[in-house]
Amino acid sequence: MNVASGDSGPEKLVAPRWQGDGVSKTQYYTATTIDGYIADPHNSLDWLFAVDEGREDEAGANPFATFFAGVGAFVMGATTYEWILDHESLLTRPEKWQEYYGDVPSWVFTHRDLPPIPGADLRFVQGDVRPVHAAMTAAAGEKNIWVTGGGELAGAFDDAGLLDEVILGVAPATLGAGAPVLPRRIMPSRLTLTGVEKRGQFAYLTYAVTPPTS
């Protein structure tokens, strides 16, 4: 799974806020190594592209395309954004953003000035994730919100009780160090395994996440 594009304490169990109420989900969907890293110590994803992805599911559909069809807004951190810019050469080939993400609006959390991608619907933000989540919810309508990465940003959404689902594409690789998939203490009482799927060399694990208790 290319996470950048469609191509290449005690905790009481409570129901997920989206379950059964018609509210869209906020999903953290990413690839991870067996030892729980999403990037190496140099913030590179080169390890990921050495893995046979499994481009289609059993029905012949592209899994990312199927996932992204349900996304109405997405958000990423500055490191993820910069990696996409460089890896996909988006400043010189901005049309590739449209190919991958169309007109779906995206938010980027950053404390520094970053170059926008021409023609992309991007909003650069910082601070509390809650007002940004509210804006994304309004933009997404009935569709879902995708937290692209990194793990610290996903953790901030979980801290605020705004993370509903974690989808991990576990790759047959270990790094020993790097950027952790989700640098938070989340106990089993808050995670419910709802899906397991083998696709190529990846094991896809889906967990429903219940909000932390105060």
Note the pTM of the prediction, 2 decimals: 0.86
Q: Look at residue 106 and tell me if it is in a domain.
A: yes
| Distance between CA atoms of residues 3 and 46, nearest Å | 12
Q: Look at residue 143 and tell me if it is in a domain.
A: yes
Q: Look at residue 161 and tell me if it is in a domain.
A: yes
Residue 89: C-alpha distances to residues 1, 86, 153, 205 (Å): 19, 5, 24, 31
Q: Look at residue 104 and tell me if it is in a domain.
A: yes
Q: What does the pLDDT read at residue 130?
A: 97
Indicate the number of domains in the chain. Answer: 1
Q: What does the pLDDT read at residue 22?
A: 52
Residue 99: C-alpha distances to residues 5, 66, 93, 120 (Å): 9, 15, 11, 11
Q: What does the pLDDT read at residue 50?
A: 87
| Distance between CA atoms of residues 133 and 140, nearest Å | 10
Return the amino acid letter for 34.
Answer: I
Q: Look at residue 87 and tell me if it is in a domain.
A: yes
Q: Look at residue 158 and tell me if it is in a domain.
A: yes
Q: What does the pLDDT read at residue 7?
A: 38
Q: What does the pLDDT read at residue 4?
A: 40
Q: Look at residue 84 and tell me if it is in a domain.
A: yes
Q: What does the pLDDT read at residue 2?
A: 39
Q: What does the pLDDT read at residue 57?
A: 56
Regarding beta strands 165-171 and 26-33, do their DSSP bridges make them parallel or antiparallel, or are they unpaired?
A: parallel
Give the neighbor-by-neighbor strand order of the sheet with 191-199. Answer: 122-125, 106-109, 71-77, 144-149, 26-33, 165-171, 202-209, 191-199
Mean pLDDT for each consecutive 10-residue tract of the chain (214 residues)? 38 38 83 96 89 62 85 96 93 94 97 95 97 97 95 97 96 96 96 94 95 83
Domain span at 68: 26-41+58-209
The answer to whether 205 and 195 are in contact (CB under 8 A) is yes
The answer to whether 196 and 4 are in contact (CB under 8 A) is no
Q: Look at residue 50 and tell me if it is in a domain.
A: no
**CATH number for 124:** 3.40.430.10
Per-position DSSP letters for 193-206, written without gaps between them? EEEEEEETTEEEEE
